[in-house]
């Protein structure tokens, strides 16, 4: 985080939120740091005398000091690039779509469903979370060959697997 902030501030002074957006954009979406990691790092860099801040329009604008510029020049040019290396962007897109679709369906149940339906939806999400962790715990068994294969059990969405 530290190296990324210093590298960004070599270009120009920025607000904290702007840094978060800039890192996300420059890493191709592979890394979007949280405010919980950015703001404490900014405070630390300010305490170390590497950056200064001033209020501008109700926001803090951060800039490098001379010592900060030296540290930034000595550091990596684009530390956020490491975050995107080795990422399967197609798979990441599929995962995001699936996650957004899941949350959209859950939101619909939450807004329009009865208490019983909402309770069932929460149970489905909890079961799905457990089943996702179980995937990591498997010993590389291909899909459909595990202990539940052909058992007639419902899937996490409460539906029968296709073909039954």
pLDDT in tens, 118-135: 999 999 999 999 998 888
pLDDT tens digit sequence for 38-57: 999 999 999 999 999 999 88
For the ranges 74-88, 116-130, 138-152, the maximum mean pLDDT occurs at 116-130
Q: Check if the beta carbon of residue 37 is closer than 8 Å to that of residue 70.
A: no
- DSSP track, 89-158: HHHHHHHHHHHHHHHHHHHHHHHHS-HHHHHHHHHHHHHHHHHHHHHHHS-SPPTT-STTTTS----TTS
Burial tier of 13 (Cβ tally within 10 Å: 0-12, 13-18, 19+): middle
> 74 pLDDT exceeds 60?
yes
> 112 pLDDT exceeds 80?
yes
> 154 pLDDT exceeds 70?
no
Taking residues 21-48, what's their average pLDDT? 90
pTM: 0.53
Q: Check if the beta carbon of residue 28 is closer than 8 Å to that of residue 9.
A: no
pLDDT at 145: 47
Taking residues 134-150, what's their average pLDDT? 61
């Amino acid at each position: 985080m530290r190296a990324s902030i210093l590298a960004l501030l070599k270009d120009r002074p920025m607000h904290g939120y702007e840094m978060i957006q800039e890192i996300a954009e420059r890493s191709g979406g592979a890394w979007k740091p949280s405010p919980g990691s950015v703001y404490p790092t900014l405070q630390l860099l300010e305490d170390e005398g590497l950056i200064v801040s001033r209020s501008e329009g109700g926001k803090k604008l951060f800039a490098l000091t001379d010592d900060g510029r030296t540290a930034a020049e000595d550091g990596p040019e684009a530390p956020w690039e490491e975050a995107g290396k080795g990422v399967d962007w197609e798979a990441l897109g599929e995962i995001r779509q699936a996650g957004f679709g899941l949350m959209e369906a859950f939101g619909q149940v939450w807004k329009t469903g009865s208490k019983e339906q909402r309770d069932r939806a929460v149970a489905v999400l909890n079961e799905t979370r457990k089943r996702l962790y179980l995937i990591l715990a498997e010993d590389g068994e291909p899909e459909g060959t595990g202990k539940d294969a052909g058992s007639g059990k419902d899937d996490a969405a409460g539906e029968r697997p296709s073909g039954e």
